[in-house]
Amino acid sequence: MSPNGAQAICRKIISFVAMTVFAMGVSRGAEPPPVQMTLRKIADNVYMMQHPTGSSNACFVVTPDGVLVFDADVRTADQVMAAIRRTTDKKVRYVISSHASGDHATGVWHYREDKPTFIATRKQMRDLYMQEKVEFDERKASKDPRFSVYRIPELVTPDIAFEGAMTLQFGGLTFQLTEEGNAHSTSDVTLYIPQKRLMMMGDLLDTEIHPGPGESAQVFFSNARNWIAILDRIIERRLPVDTYVPGHGPVHLGRGVADLEEQRRYFVTMRDEVSKMMAAGRTVEQIQAEFRVPAEFAHYIGPARLKAFLGLFYHQLAERGYWP
């Protein structure tokens, strides 16, 4: 079988498992089955923990002075911590969040034994207090077995909040944090590690899955137009990066800027398809029901994310009337 054929079957299986898990998780209020994160080495002493059904990934970097963690979901950070303990005897010194959504910024509690410094942006800090904490506390108080994982942990808020950019020299490496702006969330942060030729993208980059519409406590705040502009700016930096690490989906080692270009193409193509349907008089509900995903992205998983994002495209196109 050709590698492409095998990949296609693999994707179908992943897609089926994802839909089954989703259906099981939401249908009868049952406790969701435990997921098993997969450890992937992405460079020397740099690892990504990949979520099996397309929820958030997390990364960690091991240095002689300790460990830096990028993104922490309360539902899976215990597995990341266990992987760190299996990999090194160094303590977790820093945790950085790509943005303030629950699947990236709620799991710092799991690192409490090591007392790391939690770094985020000022906008992320505000969103954590104003939105995430509300949702986190609701889930914590809930008797719904789907939220049982929230019962013991506390939402840890950042120790240090920055605006714009921040450089951290730690363990012989340079960690360059850039607040890229409002695309997936109100404040999306990338982490560039020049010595490793890596950039961690958070949810600015999702691979083989439809992007998330940036929901927190039922507020949707993604901005598809800015997303294109921000991807343009990152591509234009022409950084010596081998791998851009996605917030959701599998990491494509060595694919470089082609991953960012594919993500950018996704937004432009999907926007144009939604525009055409709007021009033909289709309502948002009709678009969500009738939309045919263009061939290049037909293998992407996450139908619920697609539906939400079509709504986002529709409303943002309607609001502006045009796109530059």
> In terms of CB distance, is 116 or 247 closer to Zn ion?
247
Of 78, 103, 127, 135, which lies in the binding site for Zn ion, with binding defined by CB under 5 A?
A: 103
Query: In the stretch 240-259, what mask flags binding to Zn ion with x, by CB under 5 A?
Result: -------x------------
How far apart (Å, rounded) are the C-alpha atoms in residues 280 and 5? 36
If one asks whether residue 203 binds Zn ion (CB under 5 A), the answer comes out as yes
Name the segment binding Zn ion (CB under 5 A); options: 60-68, 69-77, 202-210, 280-288.
Answer: 202-210
Beta carbons within 8 Å of 237's beta carbon, 6+ residues apart: none
> In terms of CB distance, is 185 or 243 closer to Zn ion?
185
If one asks whether residue 263 binds Zn ion (CB under 5 A), the answer comes out as no
Name the segment binding Zn ion (CB under 5 A); options: 199-207, 258-266, 270-278, 297-305.
Answer: 199-207
How far apart (Å, rounded) are the C-alpha atoms in residues 318 and 298? 25
If one asks whether residue 215 binds Zn ion (CB under 5 A), the answer comes out as no
| Distance in angstroms between the alpha carbons of the first and the last residue of the chain | 44
Please give the biggest Cα pair distance in the chain: 61
Name the segment binding Zn ion (CB under 5 A); options: 4-12, 40-48, 97-105, 187-195.
Answer: 97-105
What is the nearest approach in angstroms of Zn ion to the Cβ of residue 101?
Answer: 5
Cα dihedral 232, 236, 237, 238, rounded to 10, equals: 120
Cβ neighbours of 82 (radius 10 Å)? 14
> In terms of CB distance, is 71 or 78 closer to Zn ion?
71
| CA atoms within 13 A of residue 323's CA, in its CB half-sphere | 21
Report which of 211, 228, 226 is spatially closest to residue 304, judged by C-alpha positions: 211
What is the nearest approach in angstroms of Zn ion to the Cβ of residue 202?
Answer: 7
Of 50, 53, 56, 182, which lies in the binding site for Zn ion, with binding defined by CB under 5 A?
A: 56
What is the nearest approach in angstroms of Zn ion to the Cβ of residue 212?
Answer: 5
Handedness of CA 3, 231, 99, 47 (dihedral sign): positive
If one asks whether residue 71 binds Zn ion (CB under 5 A), the answer comes out as no
How far apart (Å, rounded) are the C-alpha atoms in residues 297 and 30? 32
What is the nearest approach in angstroms of Zn ion to the Cβ of residue 98?
Answer: 8
Residues in the chain: 324
> In terms of CB distance, is 93 or 210 closer to Zn ion?
210
What is the nearest approach in angstroms of Zn ion to the Cβ of residue 286?
Answer: 28
How far apart (Å, rounded) are the C-alpha atoms in residues 157 and 179? 18
Which pair of tokens denotes residue 56?
């958030």
If one asks whether residue 106 binds Zn ion (CB under 5 A), the answer comes out as no
Interface with Zn ion (CB under 5 A): 56, 103, 203, 247
